[in-house]
Amino acid sequence: MSLTIEQLKHAFEQQFGQAPEYHFRAPGRVNLIGEHTDYNDGFVLPCAIDFETHVVAQPNGSNKIRVLAADYTYQLDCIDLEQEIAHHQEFQWANYVRGVAKSLQSREVELLGCDLAISGNVPRGAGLSSSAALEVALGLAFSTLSKHYLSKSEIALNGQQAENEFVGCNSGIMDQLISAQGQQGNALLIDCRSLSCKPVEMPESLSVVIINSNVKRGLVDSEYNMRRMQCETGADLCNVSSLRDLSEAQFATFEDQLDPVTAKRVRHVVTENARTQAAAIALQNADVQTLSALMAASHVSMRDDFEITVPQIDYLVELVAAIITDSGGVRMTGGGFGGCVVALVPHKKVAEVKASIATHYPAKTGLIADVFVCRPSAGAEIVVQP
C-alpha cells in the first residue's frame, strides 16, 4: 500500500534521523495506441496518468546511497559509491535503483551520497509502467542532488538504459519518455526515433478508463524479447534499418518472402504505426468515431498478428465495446499477455462500463478486474527543493 507524502516523510525521518528537504514525483502512463512500435523507431500515443511514484531525499554527506522502499515492508538497500554497483541478490526493486545510479555514472554524473524513501500508487505488474515512473523519479532525484542537471529526454534515456542493461528487459523509450515529459490534459504523439513529442489535446468529453485484468503476466519478459527479435529479423529481411521505415505498400512486396510468423509481426508494426499517426489527428479533431475504429483495429492486430492478447483481455474489450460502440475506443494496452485494457469512455457511460465488468467478468473468468478512472497528467517534476 502506498503512503501519503506526509507518511513517507515521516518514514524517512524515522529511518534516517532527519527530515527530507527534497521531493520528486514521476507518473505512470497508459498508451492509447501504438503498441510494440517504440523499439521499432515508430510512433506511440501515450498519456501520463495521475498515479505516480514519489521520492523524498536528502544528501547525507557520505559515500553511500541509502534507500528505503516504503511499499516493500520498509526494506532498506545501501549502495557504496566507492565500489562497482552490482545487482542486489534479494530485492528486485533495488536493481531499478542501482541500475539508474549506474547508468548515470556511465553518463559521467558524479553521484553524491544521499538518503531516499520511495512510495507510489502506480499498480505494479499491470502494464502501467510503474518501473518507468520509478526510474524517471530516481533519475531526476539523483541528478538534482548531484547538481548535474539533465534534460527530461536524458533522464528518460537513462531510465531506459537502466532497464535494458541492468534490469534486463529490452524496453523501448516510450514509457520513460511519457513519464518524464507528459503534459496535463494531453496525450503525446512521440516519434521514438527523434524523441520529438507533440501534445495532442484530449477531448474533455471522454474519461480515460484503465481496466486491470489481473491476469498474471508471467510470460511478458521472455515473450517481449522474442517479439523484439522477430521485428529485428523482419526489418533485416525487408532491407530497412527498422520497421519504422517500411510502408504498407513496401511490406506488400516483401510479405510472400517472409515466413508466416515474421510476416504477421511485421504487418502489425507497419499498420500500427499508420494507425497511431491517424489516431493523433482524430484525437486532435475530437473525431471520436475514427478514433474508435482505429483503436478497435489496433486490438485486432495485437490479437491476430502480434499474438499478445489473452482471452480475458479480449473479453474485457468486448464488454466495453458493447457499451460505448463508436462513442469511445477500447483496446489492450501494454506489453501483453495479461495486464490492462484502456478505454476512452464518455463520462455518462463510465458507471455502466464499471457495472458490466463487475457483473460479467468474474462470472466468465473467475477473476475480478480493477477499474481506474484517470486524468491525463503532467510528467516528472521537482515538487520541493531547498
Confidence of residue 220 (pLDDT cuts 50, 70, 90): low
Position 219 confidence tier, pLDDT thresholds 50, 70, 90: low
Q: Is 175 a catalytic residue?
A: yes
CB proximity list for 110: less than 8 A, separation 6 or greater: 146, 148
Residue-range domain boundaries for the chain? 5-200+377-384
> In this predicted model, what pLDDT tens digit does every residue of 36-48 receive, in sequence order?
999 999 999 999 9
Q: How many CB atoms lie within 10 A of CB 334?
A: 26
- As given in the structure block, the three cell numbers for residue 93 are 526493486
| Reported confidence tier of residue 224, pLDDT bands at 50, 70, 90 | confident
Tell me if residue 18 falls in helix, strand or coil.
Answer: coil
Choose, from 41, 71, 115, 175, the residue flagged as catalytic.
Answer: 175
Q: Are 113 and 59 in contact (CB under 8 A)?
A: yes
Give CA–CA dist 211/200, Å, rounded.
23
| Helix/strand/coil for 175 | helix
279-328 per-position pLDDT tens digit? 999 999 999 999 999 999 999 999 999 999 999 999 999 999 999 999 99
Cβ atoms of residues 30 and 9 within 8 Å: no
Among the ranges given (6-15, 213-222, 337-346), the one the predictor scored with the smallest mean pLDDT: 213-222
Overall average pLDDT of the 74-89 stretch: 97
- Based on its alpha-carbon atoms, the radius of gyration of the chain, rounded to whole angstroms, reads 21
The pLDDT, as a whole number, for residue 2 is 78
Q: Specify whether domain 5-200+377-384 bears CATH 3.30.230.10.
A: yes
Q: Where are the alpha helices (DSSP H) in the chain?
A: 5-16, 92-106, 130-145, 152-161, 174-181, 220-237, 248-254, 260-284, 288-304, 311-324, 350-365
| Range with lowest mean pLDDT among 32-41, 105-114, 208-217, 373-382 | 208-217
| DSSP letter string, 49-106 | EEEEEEEEEEE-SSSEEEEEETTTTTEEEEEETTS-----SS-HHHHHHHHHHHHHHH
- Between 334 and 14, the more confident residue is 14
The predicted-structure confidence for 111-134, as pLDDT tens digits, reads as follows 999 999 999 998 776 678 899 999
Q: Is 316 exposed, middle or buried (0-12, 13-18, 19+ CB in 10 A)?
A: buried
% of the chain with per-residue pLDDT over 70: 98
Q: Average pLDDT over the chain, rounded to whole?
A: 95
Residue 382 has pLDDT above 70, yes or no: yes
